[in-house]
Amino acid sequence: MIVELGHFALALALAVSLVAMVLPLWGALRNDGRLMAFGPPSAVLQFLLVALAFGALTYAYVGSDFSVTNVFENSHTDQPMIYRFSGVWGNHEGSILLWVLILVLFGACVAAFGRSMPSPLRAATIAVQSSIVAAFLAFILFTSNPFLRVLPAPTEGRSLNPVLQDPGLALHPPLLYIGYVGFSVVFSFAAAALILGRIDAAWARIVRPWILAAWTTLTGGIALGSYWAYYELGWGGYWFWDPVENASLMPWLAGTALLHSVIVMERREALKVWTILLAVLAFSLSLLGTFLVRSGVLTSVHAFASDPARGVFILLILCAFIGGALLLFAMRGPQLAGGALFSPVSREGSLVLNNLFLSAACAAVFIGTLYPLALEAVTGDKISVGPPFFNATFVPLSLPILLAMPFGQQLAWKRGELLPIAMRLFVAILAGAAVMLAVLALSSGREAIAALGLGLGAFVVVGSLDDLRIRAMRSGAGSFFSRLFGLPRTIVAAALAHMGVGLMVIGIAATAFHEEQIANLEPGQTLNVGGIEISFEGMRRTTGPNFIATVGQFTARKDGVELMRMEPGKRTYVGRSMPTSETSRLQRGLGEVYLAVGDAHEGKLDVRAYWKPYVLLIWLGPLVMTLAGLLSLTDRRMRIAAPRRRVAPGAKPEPAE
C-alpha cells in the first residue's frame, strides 16, 4: 500500500512540475505577480511529493518487501541495516529517484532562500528547474519505475552488489549527485537570465553560492569515490581514467572554471558570455555523465542494468536542454557584449588563463572519453583510451594552472605587475625549487616528472598560505594574528582550497616512489616493503553477517618491533557468487603500507604489498578543498539573504578574493 502511495506521489509530482514549468515563467515574462507567486509553493510541493516517493521506496527496502522487484533484486534480509538503506540508491531505478529528489530539493531551496532575489528571476529559475524535474520524472515513470511489483513475492532477495556494501559507497552517490545536480540550479539560473534578458553583476552575485555549493559537494563526492576505489578494489590505484570517472571529472573541471569566471563577472561585469556558457556547459556535462553511465553505452560498476530505451530517453533530454539553452544563448548573444576593460596581466587576466587551461583540460578528457564511442560507431573499430592518453594530454594542460595559481592570488584587478609579485612570493618559489632540486638529486635525475610535480605542489602549498601572511601584513591595524583572523572568510577559503590542490598534486607526484612487492608466500615467510617487514602467519576463515571470508594473517614489523597485525582477505557474499577484496592498510605518517591477497594454491597465498609514501595527500587535498568550500559558504558575502550590492564598474581595484 505504501509502495503504491509512493508511485502515486511520483505521478502527482510529474503533474505539478508540468504546471510549474509554465505558469511562473509566463508570469515572469508578463510581470504578473500572481502567476509568479505560484512558483515557490509548487517547488516545495514537488519536493514533498518526491520525498514521499523516496520515503516509500526506503520503507520497502528497510522492511525487505521483496514483492517490489527493485527490492528483490538489490536487497537481502541478511544485509546490515545501513546497506539495506543504501541499497535504495545502489541500483539504476533508485539512484535516478535520488537524482530527482536532489533536483527538487534544489528547487525548494531556491523557493526557500530566494526571497532577496528579484521575483521574475526566482520564478523563471523555478520554472526551468521544474522542466528538468518533469523530464526526469517522465524518465522514471516510463522507463525506470522502482515501484513495480513481482507476484508471487519471492521470499528472499538477491542482495546488493557486494562491492557496494561499504560505508564509503553508502555516502559517495548522494554526495556526487548533490554536486552533479547542484549544477542544474546554476543552469536554471542561467536559462532564466537568458529568458529575462537580465545578465549582470547582480545575477553573478546571486548564483555564486549555488556554484560553490555544487562544486564543494562534487569535490567531496569524487574524492570519496576515488578513496573507495583505492581501498576496495585491491589494486591500490586511485584514479583509472575510467569513462565513468571522467564523466564526473568533466563537470568538476567546467564547474571549477565557472567558480572562477563568475568572480570576474560579479566584480567587473566582464566575461559575461563565457560565464553563462560555462553555466550551461557544467550541467550539460553532468547530463552527459548521466547518459554515459545510465544508457549502457559504457559498462562498469556504475552501469547497473542497461537498457537501450533508457539511453535514447536520456539522450533526448540531453539534446533538448543543451539545444534549448544554446538557442537562447544565440538569441541573447548580442546583448551580452561589453564589460570592463582589463590588462592581460591582472587578476582578470589570470582568471581567464585559469579558464583557458581548465577548459582545454576538460576538452582533452571529453575527447578521450567519447572518441572510442565515436570511432566504434563510425568504423566499428574498438579501441581503449587509457592512462597513457590522459597522462600525455591532461597532465601538461593542468601544470600551467599550478604555476599560475599563487601569482593569480596576488594580482590586482584591472592591471597588475608580475615582478613585484615574484619578489613577494620568493619564499614559495624557493620552497618549490628546493623540493624539485632535492628530489632530482636524490633520484639521480631519473624522476624528473615527479620532481616537477613535487616542486610545483610545494610551490602551490607555500604560495597559497603565504598569500594570507602577505595580506595580513598589509591590511588593517592590530597585531599580525588579529589581522590574520580578521581576513574575510572567502579569502582564507580561496587560499586553503588552492593549498588543497597543492597537497593533492604532491600526493599524486609521490606515486612515482611507490614500491610494489608481489609474492607467493607460505606461512612463516616474510617480505619487505618500504623498510617494513611483513610476515605471513597463516590463513583462517571467518563469517560476517552476510558473507564468508578467507583472511590472511600477517604481522608488520619495523626493526623487530611489532607495528600492527594485518588481516587482508577475500569475501564471498551470500546471494552473489562474486568475491571481493578486503585490503589491510598500515598508516605511517602520510604514507601507507597496503596489503591485498589473491588466491591460495596448495597452502601458498598470493600477496600483493605496496609502500605508498604520502598517498593520503591525494584525498586530504580534496578534503581541504571541500572544507574550504564550506568555509567560504559561511562568509557573510556569500549568504543569499545578504543585501544585494551593485559594484559599479571600476569602483575600486581592491585586491580581494
Partner 1 sequence: MTRKQRRLALIGAAGLVLAVAVGLILTALNDRIVFFRSPAEVAQLNVQPGTRFRLGGLVENASVERPGAQQVVFRVTDGTRSMTVRYSGLLPDLFREGQGVVCEGTLQADGSFNADTVLAKHDEKYMPREVSDALKKQGHWQGDAAPGGEGKPK
Binding site for partner 1 (CB under 8 A): 69, 72-73, 150, 154, 161, 163, 233-234, 299-301, 305, 341-344, 352-353, 356-357, 360, 363-364, 367-368, 371-372, 381-386, 388-389, 392-393, 396-397, 518-520, 570, 576-581, 596, 598-599, 601, 604, 606, 608
The answer to whether 89 touches 160, Cβ cutoff 8 Å, is no
Gap between the Cα atoms of 547 and 572, Å rounded:
5
Which whole-number Å values give the CA distances from 524 to 450, 517, 527, 534, in the listed order? 37, 17, 10, 10
Considering beta carbons, is residue 319 or 578 the nearer one to partner 1? Answer: 578
For the bound state, the minimum distance from the C-beta of residue 601 to partner 1, rounded and expressed in Å, comes to 7
C-alpha cell at 169: 559507497
User: What angle, rounded to 10 degrees, do the helices at 201-232 and 617-633 form?
Assistant: 150
Which residue's entry shows cell 594485518? 566
Please state, in angstroms and rounded to a whole number, the distance separating the CA atoms of residues 387 and 402.
21
Distance CA 440, CA 455 (A): 10
Per DSSP, the three-state class of 595 is strand
Taking the complex as a whole, the smallest distance from the CB of residue 301 to partner 1 amounts, in Å, to 4
Residue pair 242/196 in contact (Cβ under 8 Å)? The answer is no
Least Å from the CB of residue 227 to partner 1: 16
Q: Which is nearer to partner 1, 77 or 443 (CB)?
A: 77
Rounded to a whole number of angstroms, the minimum distance from the CB of residue 383 to partner 1 is: 5
Report the distance separating Cα 313 and Cα 134, nearest Å: 13
Nearer to partner 1, 183 or 227 (CB): 227
Complex with partner 1: residue 309 or 341, whichever CB lies closer: 341
Tell me the C-alpha distance between 464 and 444, whole Å: 30
Sheet holding 584-588: strands in order across? 515-521, 604-612, 591-601, 584-588
Q: Which is nearer to partner 1, 51 or 233 (CB)?
A: 233
Q: Which is nearer to partner 1, 121 or 298 (CB)?
A: 298
Kindly report the backbone phi and psi dihedral angles of residue 175, in degrees, each rounded to the nearest multiple of 5, phi listed first.
-65, -50
Select 71 or 499, whichever has its Cβ closest to partner 1. Answer: 71
Q: Other CB atoms closer than 10 Å to residue 343's CB: what's the count? A: 12
Nearest-approach distance from CB 606 to partner 1, in angstroms: 5
Amino acid present at 186 = V
Residue with smaller CB distance to partner 1, 395 or 427: 395
Q: How far is the CB of 91 from partner 1 (least distance, A)?
A: 11
Q: CA end-to-end span of the chain, whole Å?
A: 54
Positive or negative torsion for Cα 188, 192, 194, 199: negative
Beta strands 515-521; 547-558: pairing state? unpaired
Residue 375 C-beta: closest distance to partner 1, Å: 9
Q: Of the two residues 604 and 637, which places its CB atom closer to partner 1 in the complex?
A: 604
Q: How far is the CB of 72 from partner 1 (least distance, A)?
A: 6
Q: Which is nearer to partner 1, 29 or 233 (CB)?
A: 233
Q: Nearest approach, Cβ of 300 to partner 1 (angstroms)? A: 7
Cell numbers describing residue 413: 584587478
* 3-state per-residue secondary structure call for 554-572: EEEEECCEEEEEECCEEEE
Least distance to partner 1, CB of residue 102, Å: 25
520 within 8 A of 605, measured Cβ to Cβ: yes
